[in-house]
Every structure is written in C-alpha cells, then in structure tokens.
C-alpha cells in the first residue's frame, strides 16, 4: 500500500486549509488504495478570518497544527516529523492558508518566503524524485520548491499566474476538471477552488490529481 504525506495549513478556506479540498483529497487517496498521514506546521497562523463575514478577527490567534487537527480528526503530526523516506508521495490541498501560513504568497506575491520546516519537507520529496500534488493556490508554494521552469497551474487567473511566473515557474492555464503534469519534476497540479463553482467540480480535478500522483513511478 502506498503511503502519502498530506500537509495542511489550518482549517478554513480564508485562513487555513480548504476543508472540502482536504476531505476530497483524503477520500481519493483511500479510494485509490493508498493510505495517508496528515502534517501541519506547529505555529501561529497569519490571522484568523471570520468565515461568516469574511472579516479578520482582530486580536484572535490560532495555531495552524491545532486548527488542522480539526479536519484530521486529531490524527495529525507536526510537519517537522514528516520524513520523505517514509512516504511514496506528497500532497498539499489548497485554501488561503497555503499562501498565508505555509508561505507568504498571499501577502508578498513573488517576493514571498516559505516556512522553513515546510520548505525542508517539500524539498526533500523533490530531491528524492517522489511524486507530489499541489492543489488550488498551493502551486505558488511549489514554484518556490522546484527548479526554474517547472510547469504548474492555479487555473486561469492572469494576475496570480503572473506572480507565479515571476517566481520562476511556467504557469499553464487549466480548467477546473483537469490537471497539469510536469513529468520531469513528477509534479501534478489542479485548480480546484481557484475555479470550482461547487464541490462536484472540485472533486473531479482533485480526484484526477490524486490518481495521477499515485500512478507515477
């Protein structure tokens, strides 16, 4: 049975991991006969967003690992415990937490930095030439992990694509139900809720991403 490391960025589309994307990804992994272990950085998230109003909750703080444990039903480990040699593949669901807590792309664009622990893990999978899947806005992080020219997608948003290209990646426009595969780097990306209008649309692309990652040797 293949083992997949899944890195989460909190809980909730506006300040953490996108919950639908995460659950659909975990389900797809199991449906493909693989198993997963969830990880997240043990640190304070950038900010807390009231998901009912969309406003930042001033003065409120939350921990990325603690919040991500909500989605993982408590079965989650600090990202520092994720070792590439223990897994066959790596997957990062999206949600703005990927661009706020795992890296700073949401704030700094092409001048962004990546959480050092997350970067270490992602780089280790890339160096070991193990397949990886990044969904939604998470490919912005992948642009920092892989070599210049790596092919990836966040969908069709021109401004975001330009920011990713400025990081040295090569953005490829992609529809919600499809994936972009960089065979050389063993990287699979899909737009998910960068384009999805409902959960079924998100499911189609995420399922294809998981299938493509697990099919890679």
Give buried/exposed letters for 19-54 (b at 16+ CB in 10 A, else e). bbbbbbbbebbeeeebebbbbbbbeebbebbeeeee
Question: Can you give the C-alpha Rg of the chain in angstroms?
Answer: 15
Q: Which CATH number fits domain 3-215: 3.40.50.300, 3.90.180.10, 3.40.50.880, 1.20.1260.10?
A: 3.40.50.880
Active-site position among 11, 112, 136, 144:
136
Residue 217 above 90 pLDDT?
no
Sheet containing strand 180-182, edge to edge, reads 76-78, 35-40, 3-7, 89-92, 132-135, 187-190, 180-182
Report whether pLDDT(140) > 90: yes
Tens digit of each residue's pLDDT (9 = 90 or more) over 181-216: 999 999 999 999 999 999 999 999 999 999 999 999
136 is catalytic: yes
Which three-class secondary structure state does DSSP give residue 161? Answer: helix
What's the CA gap between 117 and 114, in Å, rounded?
A: 8
Reported as type and span, the H/E element at residue 90 is: strand 89-92
* Angstrom distance (rounded) from CA 101 to CA 108: 12
All structural domains of the chain with their residue ranges: 3-215
6-60: pLDDT as tens digits: 999 999 999 999 999 999 999 999 999 999 999 999 999 999 999 999 999 999 9
Contacts of 116 (CB under 8 A, 6+ apart): none
């Amino acid at each position: 049975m293949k083992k997949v490391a899944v890195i989460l960025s909190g809980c909730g589309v506006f300040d953490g991991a996108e919950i639908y994307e995460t659950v659909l990804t975990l389900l797809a992994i199991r449906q493909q006969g693989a198993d997963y272990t969830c990880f997240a950085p043990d640190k304070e998230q950038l900010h807390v967003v009231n998901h009912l109003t969309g406003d930042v909750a001033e003065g409120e703080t939350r921990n990325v690992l603690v919040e991500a444990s909500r989605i993982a039903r408590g079965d989650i480990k600090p990202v520092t415990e994720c070792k590439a040699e223990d897994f066959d593949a790596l997957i990062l669901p999206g949600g703005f937490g990927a661009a706020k807590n795992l890296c700073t792309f949401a704030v700094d664009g092409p001048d962004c930095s990546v959480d050092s622990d997350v970067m270490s893990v992602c780089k280790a999978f890339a160096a070991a030439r193990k397949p990886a899947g990044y969904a939604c806005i998470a490919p912005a992080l992948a642009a920092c992990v892989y070599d210049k020219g790596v092919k990836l997608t966040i969908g069709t948003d021109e401004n975001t694509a330009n920011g990713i290209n400025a990081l040295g990646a090569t953005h490829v426009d992609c529809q919600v139900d499809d994936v972009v595969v960089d065979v050389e780097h063993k990287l699979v990306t899909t737009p998910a809720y960068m384009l999805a209008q409902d959960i079924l649309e998100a499911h189609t692309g995420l399922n294809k991403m998981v299938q493509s990652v697990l099919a890679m040797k």
